[in-house]
Chains A and B, each alone.
Chain A
Amino acid sequence: MRAVDAIVECLKAEGVDTVFGIPGGANLPTYDALYDGGVRHILCRHEQGAGHAAEGYAKASGRVGVALATSGPGATNLTTAIADAVMDSVPCVFITGQVRTDMLGTDGFQEADVTGITMPIVKHSSMIRDPRDIPREIHEAFHIARTGRPGPVLVDIPQDLSRADIDYEPNPALQLPGYQPKSEGNVKQIRLAAKALANARRPVIYAGGGVVSAEAAAELTELCTSDRFPVTLTIMGLGAFPAPHEQWLGWLGMHGTRAANYAMDEADLICAIGARFDDRVTGKLAEFAPRAKFIHIDVDPAEISKNVPAHIPIVGDAKRILPKLVREYRALEADSSRLDAWWERIHGWQERYPLTYEDSDDEEIKPQFMIEAIHEATGGEAIITSDVGQHQMWTAQYYPFSAPRRWINSGGLGTMGFGLPAALGAQVANPEATVVCVAGDGSLPMNVQELATCVMEDIPVKVFLMNNFYLGMVRQWQELFWGRRYSAVDMGTSPDWVKLADAFGATGLRATEKSTLLDTMRQAIETPGPVVLDVHVSKEENVYPMIPAGAAARDMVG
């Protein structure tokens, strides 16, 4: 069998129904095998788009996303998506073509050292040197991508090797002696954690995207509600605990709620689950949660005590550990009334500092109003992707997510242009769902070419563009920290988004008035096929509250 036919067989054996990519010289053999191989291929318009589509597919479904690219520029175009996937722990397999082995190292046409370039941004990678290894390497890539802390794996295949004839045997044995992720969690540590929770007077449960990756949202909710533990989530974790909920403090960090940030600041015990104490969460590290001891549950041992020293580290899979923690905690029969004073304090913050904004008294559409309208128009049930910037923060603030895998954004890398291709991938994984991309007018142009993919493949994503004609988040920082010197943030009025959507063969709509916004959104959702709805919002609204960069939670402004 040709090695490339074996690749397609491996993809099917791994349960892959769809791959995203673009063909080119070095991966022509693979595309020949895909021609009638029985796996759906979606032709994207840029490899970065294909990479983010694979991420969106993975984030929405929990399955491994796959993207293909040719050698050289095809592969280098993938790198932003690979870096995005490693930062947000997204299980993806990237298969790139490479020049023929006799050309390797000669600066041949479309040659780039892709395994070298991507080394710092992959969970693992390999370059094929013997075509007989291809099936095993592909299966190893899937195994590594989806187990432990998920992440991107790259397999680089020289063109001549992919054409070789090999003896293909299904399910080759994996050879990964150095890869053994832990899952169970240490029983003594779990017991100690339960005891610490039972003795805490001001506890906070702080969970992140790891809970979503581990499919442990129900287990998290069980733990939180095994007592009246206050809960906050990172922006990556939204949906892992159902919002709104009486124990829900809102998300935490730079643009999180005051209640969540103040609770972290005053907590005596913080139980971190699948979260990594990112600088956007901690603010000034030296002043982060100064009174707290830390339980840290994470599948990646290197996250423990990386940024914040843990007192009770537990390494393993949250889905396996949390039920044991709940059992141990219940057995202690802790007196719930010890949390009364703590809740009184938290309720005080919640009443004093609710998440709110000043609505316009005319037809001007405030960005926060726009997000609330999306929530209403979708019944809170949509899969929402976003780009990066102010609109992302407002979406996370004003669209409560009641279930995991409904909120898909680029948290770690902060990749502008992520939203549309991610929505495309999410829609492919969930053909029946309403998928909305909340886009920014700075971000959308960065991968707008994928509208063509949506039209051609009949992928009916709805792009709701929050258009303030600025690189809004940068403008906000220039306003607040750089004396209103607005340097290179004016996006002007180009393009005409309605005409652009029309040119792509999608439907273009526009909303400029508050009173008709909701109806226009509903019209967009009911329109078959992809839609771009250009919503003109207040130009200079700021995202608040905010912990200025390098400041402590105490110093939130706005």
Chain B
Amino acid sequence: MAEEPAASDVLSLDELEAVSGARTGRRHLLSVLVENKPGVLARIAGLFSRRGFNIETLAVGPTDDPTVSRITLTVDGAAHPIDQVTKQLHKLVNVLKIRDLDPDETVTRELALFKVSADDGRRAEIVGVADIFRGKVIDVSKRSVTVEITGTGAKIEAFEELVRPFGLVELVRTGETAVTRGRLVT
């Protein structure tokens, strides 16, 4: 190690700032690659629950490598220091890689299935709203219509607000999944 000039040996302790542990105040989307082994999801869920971290959404699926799975989850950065969440996750031996995705550099999608009451002959109205959201009608019965909506969480929530007055029988959401924009690997 080369010695630095004496002038820079002076350091006012007041200049030092704490480097982490802060709450960011926003929602974080974590993309976690894990070994595809039994019990890995339980380890992650267990870690979150015992450290008091709250998972808002969770989506799990295989990747192009059969030995690796991807878990995409969202965590509230206002409630927890996000670096503490990622560092605790990294301690799990089966966790390979964690990306805290930058919202500006990420495309996110979620799939939701809305089962809406169509009792009062209002089916056409519901389908009309679904069309505006580029939703797909995937099931129809005498008394209900089921619509598939894909998009960001905000889009799904907007659709929910519009169809709720018709009578929402059931709503099933997958949780958000995400991929980075451009050539960069997530």
A contact residues around B81 at 8 Å (CB): 305
- Check B18 against A311 for contact (C-beta < 8 Å): yes
Partner of A268, one of B13, B35, B93: B13
Residue A195 at the chain B interface, CB threshold 8 Å? yes
- Check B9 against A195 for contact (C-beta < 8 Å): yes
B contact residues around A179 at 8 Å (CB): 93
A49 CA / B109 CA spacing, docked (Å): 53
Residue A508 at the chain B interface, CB threshold 8 Å? no
B interface, size bucket: 35 or more
Chain A proximity of B90: nearest CB distance (Å)? 7
Given A115-B39, A144-B93, CB of A196 within 8 Å of CB of B84: no
Closest to A189 in B: B19
Contact bitstring A83-120, B, C-beta under 8 A = 1, else 0: 00000000000000000000000000000000110011
Q: Chain A: residues with CB nearer than 8 A to chain B?
A: 115-116, 119-120, 123-124, 127, 129, 144, 176-179, 187, 191-192, 195-196, 198-200, 268-269, 293-294, 300-302, 304-306, 309-313, 324, 327-328, 331-332
Chain B proximity of A101: nearest CB distance (Å)? 13
5 A-B pairs within 8 Å (CB atoms) are namely A198-B9, A198-B11, A301-B87, A306-B84, A311-B19
Closest to A151 in B: B91
Residue B95 at the chain A interface, CB threshold 8 Å? yes
Partner of A116, one of B42, B92, B94: B42
Partner of A311, one of B8, B10, B16, B92: B16
Given A178-B35, A199-B13, A305-B18, CB of A124 within 8 Å of CB of B90: no
Chain A proximity of B4: nearest CB distance (Å)? 8
- Check B93 against A178 for contact (C-beta < 8 Å): yes
Given A120-B46, A178-B96, CB of A302 within 8 Å of CB of B20: no
B contact residues around A312 at 8 Å (CB): 16, 19
B contact residues around A293 at 8 Å (CB): 13, 16
Residue B1 at the chain A interface, CB threshold 8 Å? yes
A contact residues around B92 at 8 Å (CB): 178
A contact residues around B16 at 8 Å (CB): 196, 293, 311-312
- Check B84 against A302 for contact (C-beta < 8 Å): yes
Residue B64 at the chain A interface, CB threshold 8 Å? no
A88 CA / B54 CA spacing, docked (Å): 27
B contact residues around A268 at 8 Å (CB): 13
Closest to A334 in B: B9
Residue B17 at the chain A interface, CB threshold 8 Å? yes
Across chains A and B, which 5 residue pairs bring their CB atoms closest together, nearest first?
A305-B21, A309-B18, A302-B87, A311-B16, A309-B21
Residue B165 at the chain A interface, CB threshold 8 Å? no
- Check B18 against A310 for contact (C-beta < 8 Å): yes
- Check A177 against B3 for contact (C-beta < 8 Å): no
Q: Which of B1, B10, B12, B91 has the most CB of A within 10 A?
A: B91
B contact residues around A198 at 8 Å (CB): 9, 11
- Check A332 against B9 for contact (C-beta < 8 Å): yes
Residue B83 at the chain A interface, CB threshold 8 Å? yes
- Check B3 against A200 for contact (C-beta < 8 Å): no
Chain B proximity of A197: nearest CB distance (Å)? 10
Chain B proximity of A444: nearest CB distance (Å)? 31
B contact residues around A124 at 8 Å (CB): 93
Residues facing A in B37-68 (CB within 8 A) are 38-39, 42-43, 46-47, 50
B contact residues around A195 at 8 Å (CB): 8-9, 11
Chain A proximity of B47: nearest CB distance (Å)? 8
Known contacts A116-B39, A305-B83, A306-B21; 14 additional CB pairs below 8 A are A119-B46, A123-B93, A187-B1, A195-B11, A198-B11, A200-B13, A293-B16, A300-B91, A301-B87, A309-B19, A309-B20, A310-B19, A312-B19, A324-B1
